[in-house]
Amino acid sequence: MSFYDLHTHKFTNKANTFELVNQYPWEFIDSIPQYSIGIHPWYINESRLESDLQFMETKLQQPECLALGECGLDKRIDIPMALQIDVFEKQIALAEKYQKPLVLHLVAAYQELVEIKNRLTISVPIILHGFSKNEQVAQQMIDHGFYLSFGKYLLRNPELKSVFLSVPNDRFFLETDTVEETLEEVYTLAAQYKEMTIEALQTQVASNWKRVFY
């Protein structure tokens, strides 16, 4: 059985691990076999925005590119929200054009996300990576059709156990992002919380993966 890593910045090339490696247009590595590509709200640069979007569009047409991301909104940074939303919506349009799922970085902008999704009638799957909020927010996101991905916060915050348990088994993913802990550690804790074997958890995540990415 394979492990599936929904979002990582480090390509490990482990034989039994399927990694969705986060790539940025301005530091793209051709040798990575499966990746997502996007403009993170932290790194919006208006002077190269059009060229970044053009580069992304060329990659979104490739089978190795499984998703657009990470992109999204972050209310705790200095970049104006209007600019963030504009860049986000341009990336949503690309995801829709090429029918690629969206992997989101989202900080304190859940209502904005829901408004954008409703206004633009987005059809592609949307995954919120690194989820760390409470059960109420989790339920709201599930109700609006989003998937939730858990990683470092699940390992470091025991209070997330109840949140993770509240998420239906067909609506979650697991990830490493930038942590030193291994994906196996994330799976081990997730399996313990769900009272599943590692193998059963792997089967469930693989099923979720096929539903969203293929």
Give the pLDDT band of residue 56 (cuts 50, 70, 90). Answer: very high
- pTM listed for this prediction: 0.97
φ, ψ at 182 (rounded to 5°)? -85, 160
Residue 162 tokens, joined = 């109840």
Confidence of residue 102 (pLDDT cuts 50, 70, 90): very high
pLDDT tens, residue by residue, 183-196 = 999 999 999 999 99
In whole angstroms, give the CA distance from residue 122 to residue 100: 11
- Among left, alpha and beta (phi > 0; psi -120 to 50; other), residue 67 is beta
Whether the predicted pLDDT of 46 surpasses 90: yes
Compute the distance between CA of residue 36 and CA of residue 38 in angstroms, rounded to an integer.
7
Three-state secondary-structure class, residue 95: helix
For residue 180, what pLDDT is reported?
86
**Structural domains of the chain in order of their starting residue, each with its CATH number:** 3-213 (3.20.20.140)
Tokens of 108: 């304190």
User: Please, what's the largest Cα pairwise distance for the chain?
Assistant: 50
Phi-psi label, residue 130: left if phi above 0, alpha if psi -120 to 50, beta otherwise:
left
Residue for token pair 């793209």: 28
Cα–Cα distance measured from residue 197 to residue 194, given in angstroms and rounded to the nearest whole number: 9
Nearest-CA neighbor of 109 among 123, 128, 96? 128
